[in-house]
Amino acid sequence: MRHVLTGGPGAGKTTLVEALAATGLPVVPESGRAIIRDQVAAGGDALPWRDAARFAEAMIEADITAYRTAPAGPVIFDRGIPDTIGYLRLTGLPVPRRLAAAARRARYGRIFVAPPWPAIYRTDSERRQDLAEARATHDAIVAAYRELGHRPLRLPRTGVAARVRYVLARLADDRPVRSGRSAARGRPFTGRPGAGPG
């Protein structure tokens, strides 16, 4: 089963993905950062701050390929196909039909959302958004998953080890999260303060 770890930038998502990989869980890295590194190294312009449309197109290709070639069994994606829909909407760009169709076909088990976390937020050479932009990105991504029928689970704002335990416990309970499921396995994320664990 394919699962996703998502959220806005700077919320501890990639650190958690790396910690989950250290447990032996297969992970698929985020395409956006790899594209940025490759484009900067090559002097390309498929960068979110230069040509958002080309950057999005590169993410679409990478994410669809990653979904199709994922290993069998449980796997965690550092962002899923619907993330690009959220990104495009946030930047005011149209969502290509090909992406919308791929997002509808791509089914994921659990969608874990790292909420905005001001205490740990930092910018770097690949993450240039300020905290307000990070929050807007988070909201756009969560909306994209919800529109596709997914029920994102909000990660607690805790240390990495506690987040790893949270994710692994929910993966051990392999029943799909659907609308109306009990909070015992993690409340679906609504975007409101206090919604979901943490």
Q: Is the pLDDT of residue 125 over 70?
A: no
Per residue, the 3-state secondary structure of the chain, as one string, reads: CEEEEEECCCCCHHHHHHHHHHCCCCEECCHHHHHHHHHHHHCCCCCCCCCHHHHHHHHHHHHHHHHHCCCCCCEEEECCHHHHHHHHHHHCCCCCHHHHHHHHHCCCCCEEEECCCCCCCCCCCCCCCCHHHHHHHHHHHHHHHHHCCCCCEECCCCCHHHHHHHHHHHHHCCCCCCCCCCHHHCCECCCCCCCCCC
Amino acid at 80: G
Distance CA 20, CA 65 (A): 22
Distance CA 187, CA 163 (A): 15
Please classify residue 13 by burial: count the beta carbons closer than 10 Å to its beta carbon, then call 0-12 exposed, 13-18 middle and 19+ buried. buried
63 part of a folded domain: yes
For residue 130, the model assigns a pLDDT of 73
What average pLDDT does the segment 8-30 reach? 91
Q: Is the pLDDT of residue 150 over 80?
A: yes
83 part of a folded domain: yes
Residue 167: CB atoms within 10 A of its CB come to 24
Contact between 167 and 5 under an 8 Å Cβ cutoff? The reply is: yes
Contact between 161 and 120 under an 8 Å Cβ cutoff? The reply is: no
Q: Is the pLDDT of residue 176 over 70?
A: no
Over residues 69-78, the pLDDT tens digits come to 998 889 999 9
If one counts the domains in the chain, the total is 1
Q: Is the pLDDT of residue 198 over 70?
A: no
For residue 124, the model assigns a pLDDT of 63
192 part of a folded domain: no
52 part of a folded domain: yes
% of the chain surpassing 90 pLDDT: 58
Q: Provide the CATH number for the domain around residue 50.
A: 3.40.50.300
The model's confidence at residue 196, banded by pLDDT at 50, 70 and 90, is very low
196 part of a folded domain: no
Q: Is the pLDDT of residue 127 over 90?
A: no
For residue 174, the model assigns a pLDDT of 66
For residue 74, the model assigns a pLDDT of 92
**Which of 2, 24, 146 shows the shortest CA–CA distance to 71?**
2
198 part of a folded domain: no
41 part of a folded domain: yes
12 part of a folded domain: yes
For residue 17, the model assigns a pLDDT of 95
Domain range enclosing 64: 2-185
Lowest mean pLDDT among 47-51, 116-120, 150-154: 116-120
Residue 136: CB atoms within 10 A of its CB come to 16
The model's confidence at residue 189, banded by pLDDT at 50, 70 and 90, is very low
End-to-end CA distance of the chain: 25
Q: Is the pLDDT of residue 182 over 70?
A: no
